[in-house]
Structure 1
Amino acid sequence: MTEKNELVESIIEGIQEKKGKNISSIRLKGIAGAICDYFVICEGNTPTQVTALADSVEEMVRKKTTEKPIRIHGQQQAEWIAIDYGNVIVHIFL
C-alpha cells in the first residue's frame, strides 16, 4: 500500500491488536468496476478469534475515525466475517 488511508490503517491496527495473521491490504482504487477502494484481508485461528478480530476492528475504527460499518455479515458462524465500510471492505477468515 503506497497511499496512506486512515481507515485502512485503523483497521490494520485493530487486527494487529488481536494478533490476526496474514494481513493484506489491496488497493483497488482506480480499477474500473471495483466495488471499493481497498480490501483488507486477514486470518484468525478460531471462531472466537475471528469474532474478536471483527470486534477489535470496529472498536479501533470507531476510536480513530468517524466511520461506521454499513453492514457486517457472518458474525453468527464466525468462520468468515465481512465488514463493509463503503470504500473499504474487511474480510476476516478462519
Structure 2
Amino acid sequence: MITTILKAADEKKAFDIKLLDIKKLTTITDYFLICSGNSERQVKAIAKGIEEKMYKLGYILKNKEGHNVGRWILLDFGEIVAHIFYKEDREFYNLERLWVDAEDIDVDKFITYN
C-alpha cells in the first residue's frame, strides 16, 4: 500500500514527498503522506492519480475532502491518509510541524527516482 501511494504521487510529479509514521501518536491512521503540487490543476491530478492507482489494487477510499478547490486534498485510505497541497497552502498549514514527533520515513526506499 505504501509503495503504491508513493509511486502514484511521484508519477504525477508531486514534490517534497514525506511519509510520516504516526501510529504511536494517534489512532486515526498509521501514516500521513504529505506532498505538494505547483498549481491547483497539478494538485487535482496528483489526487486523481493516487485515487485511480489505489482503486485498481482494491484499496477503498474511505473519505475525500477538498477536491473541488484543489488547494489541499485529503484522501483517506484507512491506514494511510494522503494530504496533497498547493505549495503555499502546505507552508501555511505546516502539518510536519504539527506532527513533529512522528517518524519521518525515507521515501527513497519505496520510490526509485530516474
C-alpha separation in 2, matches of 1:32 and 1:71: 21
Q: How many angstroms does 1:91 deviate by?
A: 0.1
Computing the radius of gyration from Cα coordinates, the structure with the larger value is: 2
Q: Percent identity, please.
A: 34
Aligned to 1:27: 21
C-alpha separation in 2, matches of 1:32 and 1:17: 30
Aligned to 1:91: 83
Q: Where do 1:33-72 residues align within 5 Å?
A: 33-63=26-56, 65-72=57-64
The TM-score, its normalising length taken from structure 1, stands at 0.86
Query: Is the contact made by 1:13 and 1:60 (CA closer than 8 Å) also made in structure 2?
Result: no
What amino acid is the match of 2:79? N
The TM-score, its normalising length taken from structure 2, stands at 0.71
Unaligned 5+ segments in structure 1 are 1-6
Structure 1 consecutive aligned stretches of length 4 or more whose deviation exceeds 4 Å: none
Find the residue that maps to 2:46 and give its secondary structure.
helix
- The one-character-per-residue Cα deviations of 1:30-50 (angstroms, maximum 9, x if unpaired) are x14341110000000000000
Unaligned 5+ segments in structure 2 are 87-114
Count of residue correspondences:
86
* RMSD after superposition: 1.1
- The one-character-per-residue Cα deviations of 1:24-75 (angstroms, maximum 9, x if unpaired) are 011122x143411100000000000000000000111122x31121011001
Aligned to 2:66: 74
